[in-house]
Structure 1
Amino acid sequence: MTSSARKFYAIFLFLSFALLLFSTLEVQALICKRRSITWHRPCPARDNVKCENHCINKEHALIGSCQPNDDSFELYCFCYFGC
């Protein structure tokens, strides 16, 4: 009797883990990065708090972060939106 309970528990844990894994992968695919269109200056010393607040309040993004731009070493405010 305990053997069948252990099998059920193992299968339940495996299915729960698989569901968590697939739901996490789906969320990652639905977020797009875009440079802020209203933040017109480089980020001072990687100030993520101001950038994040700016993206959320001004551009209605999910989150914001100071990241290096592709063509320079300066940090710019990038906003992350749902695709």
Structure 2
Amino acid sequence: MKPNMAKNTNSTKFFLAFLMLFLLLANSEFATAKLCQRRSETWSGPCGSTDNCDRQCRKWEHAVHGACHGFISRACYCYFNC
């Protein structure tokens, strides 16, 4: 192997190791974030579509996520960072 190719290989290995470390740290940061659930303030009526609830929570209430919950009376709940 030529010396120049060895440098490229070592640089590539270092970059990949750095990238994996960064992704691992970023993933652990998101895994430890807590979400607080709150009934949507902008949704009216029963919640029939989690996709629509999620979209409305994110766009209108600036939540991280939204979902329909409940057995008898389904309501839209938004999730925020605590």
Q: TM-score, normalised by structure 2?
A: 0.63
2:28 is matched with which residue? 25
Q: How many residues align?
A: 77
**Unaligned stretches of 5+ residues in structure 2:** none
Deviations for 1:17-61, whole angstroms, at most 9, x for unmatched residues?
Answer: 2102211221232240404153575422xx02331243231x332
**Unaligned stretches of 5+ residues in structure 1:** none
Residue identity over aligned pairs, in percent, reads 27
Which is higher, the Rg of structure 1 or of structure 2?
Answer: 2
Matched position secondary structure for 2:54: helix
User: In 2, Cα distance between the equivalents of 1:26 and 1:37?
Assistant: 26
Q: TM-score, normalised by structure 1?
A: 0.62
Matched position secondary structure for 2:35: strand
User: In 2, Cα distance between the equivalents of 1:32 and 1:42?
Assistant: 23
> For residue 47 of structure 2, what is the amino acid of its counterpart?
C
Deviant stretches of 4+, over 4 Å: 39-42, 72-75
